[in-house]
Structure 1
Amino acid sequence: MHTILPPNKLPKNLKPVQVLQAISSSLLTETLFVSVLSGGEAAHAVKRFSGLYTGPYFDDSTATNITTQLGTHAYLPCKVKQLGNKSVSWIRKRDAHILTVDRFTFIADDRFQAFLVESTDTWTLQVKYVQARDAGQYECQVSTEPKMSHFITLHVVVPKIEITGEPDMYVKMGSTVKLRCVITQSLEEPAFIFWYHDGQRVLPIDKSPYDIKAEREGPETTVSTLIIHYTTTEDSGNYTCTPSNLDSSSVLLHVLNGEHPAAMQRGKNSASPIPAWSHLSIGLGLTACTPPRFAIAVALTLAIISEIIAC
Structure 2
Amino acid sequence: MLGPGTWEPWFLLLVATLSIVIANQHHQFDNHSVHLHERTTTRKPRNESYFQDEPSLKLPPIRIPHLRHHHVTHWGPYFENVKNEDVSTGGVRHVAVHLGTTAMLDCRVAMLSDKTVMWMRRNGERVSLLTVAKNTYSSDLRYSLYFQYPNNWRLAISSVRREDHGLYVCQVNTHPPRMLTTNVTILAPEIRILDEAGHEVKDRYYKTGSGVELACIVRSSWRTIGNLVPTWLKNGAKIPDHVKIYHVNGSAEKLITRIYIESAAKSDSGEYTCSFDQHSTSLVHLHVLNGEKQAAVHHDQWNSGRTERPNRKTITVFLAILLSDLLAVIQK
TM-score by length of 1: 0.53
AA aligned to 1:139 is V
Structure 1 residue 252 displacement after superposition: 0.9
> Measured at CA, do residues 124 and 278 of structure 1 come closer, stay the same or move farther in structure 2, by a change above 3 Å?
same
Structure 1 residue 152 displacement after superposition: 1.4
Structure 1 residue 251 displacement after superposition: 3.7
Of residues 225, 231, 242, the one that matches 2:275 is 242
Pair 1:168 & 2:204 matched: yes
Pair 1:78 & 2:107 matched: yes
Partner of 1:194: 231
Structure 2: unaligned runs, 5 residues or longer = 1-74, 86-92, 196-200, 299-321
Q: Percent identity?
A: 24
Structure 1 residue 187 displacement after superposition: 4.8
Alignment of 1:157-306 (within 5 A): 157=187, 159-165=189-195, 166=201, 167-170=203-206, 173=209, 175=211, 177-184=212-219, 187=222, 189=225, 191-202=228-239, 210-213=244-247, 216=250, 219=253, 222-228=254-260, 230-231=262-263, 233=265, 236-238=268-270, 239-243=272-276, 244-252=278-286, 254=288, 262=294, 303-304=330-331
Query: How many Å separate the matches in 1 of 2:163 and 2:141?
Result: 15
Pair 1:106 & 2:141 matched: no
Secondary structure in 2 aligned to 1:108?
coil
Contact 2:295 2:325 in 1 (8 A): no
Partner of 1:156: 186
> Measured at CA, do residues 137 and 182 of structure 1 come closer, stay the same or move farther in structure 2, by a change above 3 Å?
same
AA aligned to 1:96 is V
Secondary structure in 1 aligned to 2:179?
strand
Structure 1 residue 236 displacement after superposition: 2.3
AA aligned to 2:103 is A
Contact 1:115 1:125 in 2 (8 A): yes
Question: Between Structure 1 and Structure 2, how many residues are aligned?
Answer: 215
Partner of 1:59: 80
Pair 1:68 & 2:100 matched: no
Pair 1:96 & 2:127 matched: yes
Partner of 2:69: none
Contact 2:77 2:111 in 1 (8 A): yes
Structure 1 residue 155 displacement after superposition: 2.1
Between Structure 1 and Structure 2, the one with more strand by share is 1
Structure 1 residue 65 displacement after superposition: 1.0
> Measured at CA, do residues 260 and 185 of structure 1 come closer, stay the same or move farther in structure 2, by a change above 3 Å?
farther
Structure 1 residue 156 displacement after superposition: 3.1
Q: Please provide the CA RMSD for this pair.
A: 4.2
Q: Deviations over 1:4-42 (max 9, x none)?
A: xxxxxxxxxxxxxxxxxxxxxxxxxxxxxxxxxxxxxxx
Contact 2:165 2:183 in 1 (8 A): yes
Q: Deviations over 1:33-77 (max 9, x none)?
A: xxxxxxxxxxxxxxxxxxxxx854322116621112455432211
Partner of 1:298: none
TM-score by length of 2: 0.50
Contact 1:170 1:253 in 2 (8 A): yes
Structure 1: unaligned runs, 5 residues or longer = 1-53, 267-273, 280-300
Query: How many Å separate the matches in 2 of 1:110 and 1:75?
Result: 15
Secondary structure in 1 aligned to 2:106?
strand
